[in-house]
Amino acid sequence: MNIAIFVSGRGSNLKAILNDPDLKEIIKVIAVVSDKFDCKAFEIAHEFGIETYIIGDGDNKINAEQLTKKLLDLNVSLIVLAGYLKLIPDVLIKSFVNRMINIHPALLPSFGGKGMYGINVHKAVFESSAKVSGATVHLVDSSYDTGKIIAQQCVDISDVASPEEIAERVLKIEHQILPEVIKAFALNKIKIVSNRIEIIKE
Ligand code: GAR
């Protein structure tokens, strides 16, 4: 299965996907897309010899329509947003219905929405005094963090002293849960039953 990964920054989730031994057998990361030229994630993509694209208008960029066509031409079956922080253009959403997923560093539907990314999320969780946080993988629709939830895992944060400490604990979970969901997609184990998403276990 060919997949495209969208990134905006450090790329640790991208790296976790690329280094997952099971995934290596069943998926090919065929494109890495960003809204920025100078993100660390692009360095990782280049190390792995993966083609990179910058979404936008202007020199050396690819607009949303062109990118959609490119990804369809490349036979991309799944788009993974791994730390991509911009809203996805409608043309892409419409072409990849139920085939685009996002990782969010908290337990949705809490602590999501516009502006809730990276450390902002962990600060809000810390200030709420919540005792658990976690990671959520969900389908992407046309607004921030509202698509149906595919998988979640929580972590105890009752003893943390800072938002950074929450981020560290949650990131470890992200690196497990995102490859697992991609694996389930590749093995055709994601089903929609009674308007809920289930991962078929065998
Ligand atoms: C991850 O924690 C991801 O969950 C978060 O950005 C970070 C990217 O890290 N995404 C969001 O906050 C989306 N709302 P990475 O570049 O090292 O994978």
Residue 161 is which amino acid? A
Mean pLDDT of the chain: 96
**Is 104 known to be catalytic?**
yes
CA distances from 9 to 60, 93, 109, 119, 155 (A): 19, 22, 24, 13, 24
39 CB within 6 A, ligand 1: no
**Residue of 114, 133, 138, 171 to mutate, ligand 1, most atoms within 8 A of C-beta:** 171
Rounding to the nearest 10 degrees, give the CA dihedral for residues 11, 118, 94, 177: 70
Closest by CA position to 35, among listed 92, 77, 78: 92
> Ligand 1 center to residue 202 CA distance, Å?
30
Report d(CA 91, CA 49) in Å as an integer: 27
Burial-class residue 12 by CB neighbours within 10 Å (0-12, 13-18, 19+).
Answer: middle
**Please, what are the domains in the chain?**
2-199 (3.40.50.170)
Choose the residue to mutate in 5, 6, 10 for probing ligand 1, maximizing ligand atoms within 8 Å of C-beta: 10
| Ligand 1 geometric centre to CA of 176 (Å) | 14
The answer to whether 103 and 26 have CB atoms below 8 angstroms apart is no
- CA–CA distance, 60 with 72 (Å, rounded to integer): 20
Segment 77-134, tens digit of pLDDT: 999 999 998 989 999 999 999 999 999 999 999 999 999 999 999 999 999 999 999 9
Whether pLDDT at 201 is above 90: no
